[in-house]
Amino acid sequence: MRTDPIRDKVAIVGIGASKLSRDGGRSIGALACDAVRAAIRDSGVPREAIDGLSGIYSTDQPTVWPGYVSESLGLSNIVWSNCATPPSANTVSEGILAVAAGACDYAVCYHSKFRWDTVSAAARKDPLRKAPRGAFDPALSMPLVESLGVPNGMFAAFQRHMHLYGTRRDHLGMIVVNNRNWALENEQAVCHNAPLTMDEYMAAPLVAPPLSALDMDMPIDGAMAVVITTAERAADLPGKRVLVEATANAIAGKSDFFFQAFDTYDSYRLLIQRLWDKTGYGIDDMDLVNIYDGFSSLALEWIEAAFDVRGEAGRLLEDSWDAKTGRLLFNGRIPMSTHGGNLGEGRVQGFGHVMEAVRQLRGDAGSRQIAGAQRVLVTNGNNPVNAGMILRAG
């Protein structure tokens, strides 16, 4: 076993979020500042001690660069900063590594999302949500819910999966309904008051067969942030710490998801195996899995990788499905994405998966709390942009 050199040496000590909504009435920058401010307050770290700042700032606009946050909040002691690509766990991983390397003492990592017309058909009716010309358009100048953009690769990949392995659309439905049902217990989730049954899922009109709009993450206005420091410094802070066991990412196989049925599983499995190798753990050591669900079809292959059941995800989902509660319980005891995921809580590109892991491990998840939760597997993204980590109670 190759023990991760950062294992138990780095901790997440604060979390914060803005309001998550379909229309927050706030700018993308204001949302980011709301989340960063809340995370710093939650951590108990003095503002002047914050010396690291990392955000998602990329072609997937609109995003907020670290200079804006630093100036807006008066963070005048920044000696390390970073701009990461989506998904959100990437910026968290960068902060973890920076603290471990001594590049900074207290890093704040954040991401902020705004519901522009390139990702939301409803936003096309609002002139204030018109993306500027030249902005990166993940759907090729069409809303994300139409069939000529990102869903093109997603539906083709899942059609291939159905052909090779006999996977069915109701298997995706189990993932979607599970996440939507957990969102009912998350007051911050945009789908907190929007229950969904399997029958309703199956009856939804298809956008890019076999995917419906319910299989795609929910565009929102919102931001999230975490504060990271060493485990040693964390011991002097007032709140509960959550320790980092390992973090990893991976690239393998085809990575063009616009025009082909791109590969995801090989990169997922490489990442997961790296986490197991660095910690000596396996899936049975996890108490919760927060599986990335930018699309339900991505989540299905993450499940295959995490549980090492390539081509058998349908069987695993059927064995884990409780039709009465509309939830999944893997291996008879491991729940998935208790915050609702991107599909139920809202699209902050996987940041909620990290936040929920921290809540569960601190014992702060309210009615969603998993009794005795000690370790959580978090996965984010697709191939080639992904990240994963194992967090444990401190």
CB 121 within 8 A of CB 143: yes
CB 236 within 8 A of CB 44: no
Where would I find the H helices in the chain?
28-43, 66-73, 88-101, 151-165, 169-183, 198-203, 231-234, 265-279, 296-307, 313-320, 341-344, 351-362
Q: What's the longest Cα–Cα distance across the chain?
A: 57
**Which amino acid does the sequence have at 57?**
Y
Q: Is the peptide bond before 210 cis (omega within 30 degrees of 0)?
A: yes
**Which amino acid does the sequence have at 281?**
Y
Q: Quick one: CA dihedral 99, 104, 106, 110, positive or negative?
A: negative
Question: What pLDDT, on the 0 to 100 scale, is given for residue 154?
Answer: 77
What is the full per-residue pLDDT of the chain (394 aa) written as tens digits?
Answer: 567 789 999 999 999 999 999 988 899 999 999 999 999 999 999 999 999 999 998 655 668 999 999 999 999 999 999 999 889 999 999 999 999 999 999 999 999 998 766 677 777 777 777 766 555 544 444 444 444 455 567 788 899 999 999 999 999 999 999 999 999 999 999 999 999 999 999 999 998 889 999 999 999 999 999 999 999 999 999 999 999 999 999 999 877 766 666 678 999 999 999 999 999 999 999 999 999 999 999 999 999 999 999 999 999 999 999 999 999 999 999 999 999 999 999 999 999 999 999 999 999 999 999 999 999 999 999 988 899 999 999 9
Distance between CA 3 and CA 380 in Å, rounded?
22
Question: What pLDDT, on the 0 to 100 scale, is given for residue 261?
Answer: 61
Decide which of 3.10.450.40, 3.40.50.300, 3.40.47.10, 3.40.120.10 is the CATH code for 245-393: 3.40.47.10
CA 290 to chain CA centroid, Å, is 8
CB atoms within 10 A of CB 112: 31
**Burial annotation 90-104 (CB, 10 A radius, 16+ → b, else e):** bbbbbbbbbbbeebb
Distance between CA 338 and CA 355 in Å, rounded?
11
CB atoms within 10 A of CB 235: 11
DSSP 136: -
CB atoms within 10 A of CB 165: 16
Tokens of 293: 């669900």
Where are the domains positioned within the chain? 10-116+220-234, 245-393
State the pTM of this model: 0.93
CB atoms within 10 A of CB 46: 10
CATH number of 10-116+220-234: 3.40.47.10
Helix (H, G, I), strand (E, B) or coil at 381: strand
Distance between CA 137 and CA 150 in Å, rounded?
10
Rounded (5°) CA angle 110-98-393:
70
Element (H, E) at 206: strand 206-208
CB 364 within 8 A of CB 317: no
Query: Quick check: do 10-116+220-234 and 245-393 share a fold?
Result: yes
